[in-house]
Structure 1
Amino acid sequence: MSAREDVLQLGQRIGKSIIGQEAMVERLLLGLLANGHLLVEGLPGLAKTRAIKSLAKNLDSELSRVQFTPDLLPADITGSEIYFSEGGKGEFKFQQGPIFANLILADEINRAPAKVQSALLEAMEERQVTVGGKSYPLPPLFMVMATQNPIEQEGTYPLPEAQLDRFLMHVEVGYPDETSEAAIMRLNRDEENQTHGGTKPPLPEKLNPQAIFDARKEIGAVTVSEPVEKYMVALVFATRYPDRYDKDLARLLQVGASPRGVIGLDKVSRSYAWLKGRDYVTPDDVKAIVHDVFRHRLILSYEAHASNTTPDKVIDRIVELVAVS
C-alpha cells in the first residue's frame, strides 16, 4: 500500500475505538504527519487519553504517559544521572526518563509548576535532553500530546503564551452527539465482555513508523501557490494589525500570532491537503485548520473577555474579512 493508504487505514483503526471524535482523530494524524505537538483541551471522559493510546496500539511505537502533578520534578520527565557501584568502582550513568518514548501523553500539563513544564517544552523544541552537560537526542518519531481541563483552574499553573506557541495546534474536544453516545455505550459493554472471558478479536499488524516518514517526504512535495501563500500571510497579519481590516476586530485583539503561526499554517495545510488526496493546497484547506493553528496564539483584550468573545469567534471574523488574492 501507499503511505497515504497506510495513514488513512491507521485513522480508521483509531476511529473504531474513538467514537464521535472524528475531528480529534484527524488532528492527531495531522500532528503526526506535520511533525508537531498538540495541546488538547476538553472535559474529562472525552477520550483524549484513549485517542493517543489507540494510536500507540496501532502504530509500532512506544507510549509514555506522564500525569502532571504539583510535586513533579523535571528529572521525573527527562531522567537523571544515577550513581552505580560495581567491583569497588562507582560511576554516574544516565537513566532515561519517559520523554524518550515516541508518543508522550502529558496529562493535565497545567497541574505542574513552570520548571517541569519548561523541561518538557524544551525537549519538544530542541528534540533533545541535556543532563549533566551532555545532550541526548530524542527518537526520530516523537510527538507530545498535552491535555488540559478547561473548567478546573484551582491549583493550576497556566502555560505562558511563549510556551503555548510551541504547540503546533490547540485542539478543543466537545461532547459526542446522541448516536455516538449510544455507540460508545455499546463499545464499552463489548470491551467489558471481552475482558471477562469473551473472545477478543485478533489485533491487526501494527503500522511501521517508516510509513509516517514516507508520508512526510510526500507532504514536503505538496505545492503551495503564491496566492495561497499570500493568503496565509494575510491571515497572520490580520491578527497583528486588525485595525487595517476592522475597528471592532482591533478592540478584541491585544497580541497576534507569531511567525510560528504562518509556519504552522503551511505545515498543517499541506498535511491536510495530502490527507485529502491532493498534491496542492487550496484556500479551503487553510480555512479548515486555521482555528487549531491560531487558537492558542492569540491574546485577546480585556474587552473581548468582558464580552465573552472566544478566540474562535475572532478567527471566524478574520476569515470573513481576509480575502484570497
Structure 2
Amino acid sequence: MQLFPSTKVNTVLMNNRPKLKDGTVNPLSDVRVRQAINHATNKEALIQLVTFGNGKPMRSFMSATTPLFAPQTMYAYNLAKAKQLLTAAGYANGFEVTVLALSGSADELAQLTALQQMWAAAGVRLKIEQLDSATRTARYRAGDFQMRAAAWTNDINDPSQITSYFAIYDNIQSLYTGYKSPEIDRLFAQSQQETNPARRASQYNQIQGIYIKAAPIVFLYETPYPVALSKKVSGFVQIPWATISSLRRPSRSKHLTGPLHLNRWTWPRSSLEERHARHVRPEAAPADHSHLHRCADPGVPAGAAAARRPSKRHPRRPCHT
C-alpha cells in the first residue's frame, strides 16, 4: 500500500440560510454558531479515528496541493470558546441539528458518530439521518437540509474550480449552503482576468481568509489516495485530481512498466484521436462532442463520473458536488 498526495478534502456542509425549508429559524445562519461548531470539532482525534492517522487538518477550504493554496488560521479545538460563542448567539442550552448521511457508508457513519459525541459536549445535539444517494441528493439540492457530510476532489489544477463551487453563490449557491459574499464575488471575478501571478495569489489569499472567517462549512481534514500495488508494478504515479489524463495500456509483457496515471482504466487521448481519424472520411466535418457532458453527483466516488449523452431520463444539467 502506497499513499499518494491528493486534492481530497472532507467537510460537513452547513445550510447558511436564515430559515429552513419548513420555515423554522435556522441556528446555522448565525456565523457565531458555525464558528462554535468548528471550535467544538477535534480534528486530530477525528483523523486518528477515521483515517488511522493518515489525514491532516484542513488549513483552508482547498487542499494544500491546490495551486495558490494559502494556509489560514483555522479553528483550534476549544470547547470553552465554542460554548462562549453559542451563548453569545442565544444558544446557551444548545440546540438539535440534523445531518444527512449516505446509507451504507462506514466512513461517514464513523465520522459523524465521532462528531456527535464531540459536539454534544458543547450542547449541539447531532441527529444522523441516513438516506440513499438519490434521496439525499434531491433534498440537498432543494435546500431541504441542515448539514450534509461531503468530500471534494479537484478536477483541474487551478483554484478557480473549487472556489467557484464552494464560495460563489451564483454557481450552485456555494455548494447549496446558501453562503454569499459580495467581496469574494468581486475578488473571484478579478482573479479570472488577472495575468499577474503575484496579484492573483493575493486575491486567492484574501478569498480563503474571508471564507474561513465566515465558516460556511465544518472544516475537517485532507486525505491522501491509498493505492494497493503488486510488486510487479513499477513506475506507477497516482495523480491528485479526480479525473485522469492518460493510462498507457501495457504490452504483452508480464510486467507493467513506464508511467501510469490512473483513477480508472482508459485509453490515452492521443490513441483515441488516432483511432477516430482512421474511421473518418477526409471530407467529413469534425466531430461535434458538445453533447457530451461530464457530471459528478454527491455520493459518487471520485473518478467514477463519465460523459454521457443527454436524454429525457438524464437531461443535461450543471456539474456540482
What range is the shorter-chain TM-score in?
under 0.3
- The structure whose RCO (Cα within 8 Å, separation 6+) is larger is 2
TM-score normalised by structure 1 residue count: 0.24
Greater helix share, 1 or 2? 1
